[in-house]
Amino acid sequence: MNPQIKLNRGRRQAGAAVIEFAFVLPIFVLILYGMVTFGSVLYTQMALSRAASDGARALGLASGSTTSYASITESVKDSIKLEVVNSLSSSIIAPAGIGDYAARRTWLEQTVLPTVVVDNGSCGGGEASAGLLRVRVSYPYSSARILPSITLPIVGGFDSWMPQTLSGCAIVQL
């Protein structure tokens, strides 16, 4: 084969790899961002479920001889809410700049305000049974995201598939 033909063939494809990389890199970055974002949502959901379970466990211990929702005092409900906030503070659902436990707890109480409900409902939407109490924790994920949302010029935002509110629920039998 003529060396001149070989040389021309190499020159024609000199920048092809760079152009292909420029097309493929944004797609890979979006896939990576989606996986990390989904993982952070899943972690936050698990932390909320654990916090609801901790609240239900504390309700079971604090209620003592309580046998119904009507006999639970406001101080018991406040202690359950405190237990839920303590449980959430021990997780890393706060943004990266908030370091220690006390700072995460303050951030949760002042900025995020997770909603804690103690009632006699059910977690699955079915009928509530006598002797069962529910602890439900709601967390406004859209206002306290671990990762920021990204917006592309042509496509737009990628946060429409993200939930606005996450919730965890646990039931305790009295």
CB 112 within 8 A of CB 89: no
Q: Which of 118, 116, 92, 117 lies closest to 105 in space, CA to CA?
A: 92
Spatial distance between the Cα atoms of 6 and 1, rounded to a whole number of angstroms:
8
Most confident region among 46-60, 61-75, 158-172 by mean pLDDT: 46-60
Q: What is the layout of strands, in order, in the sheet containing 115-119?
A: 115-119, 132-139, 166-173
pTM of the model: 0.78
Identify the three-state secondary structure at position 148.
coil
- Whole-number Å distance between alpha carbons of 11 and 157: 40
List pLDDT tens digits, range 113-133.
888 888 887 787 767 677 788
Of 6-10, 18-22, 131-135, least confident by mean pLDDT is 6-10
CA atoms within 13 A on the CB side of 2: 4
Give the DSSP H or E segment for 157: strand 156-157
More confident residue, 20 or 156: 20
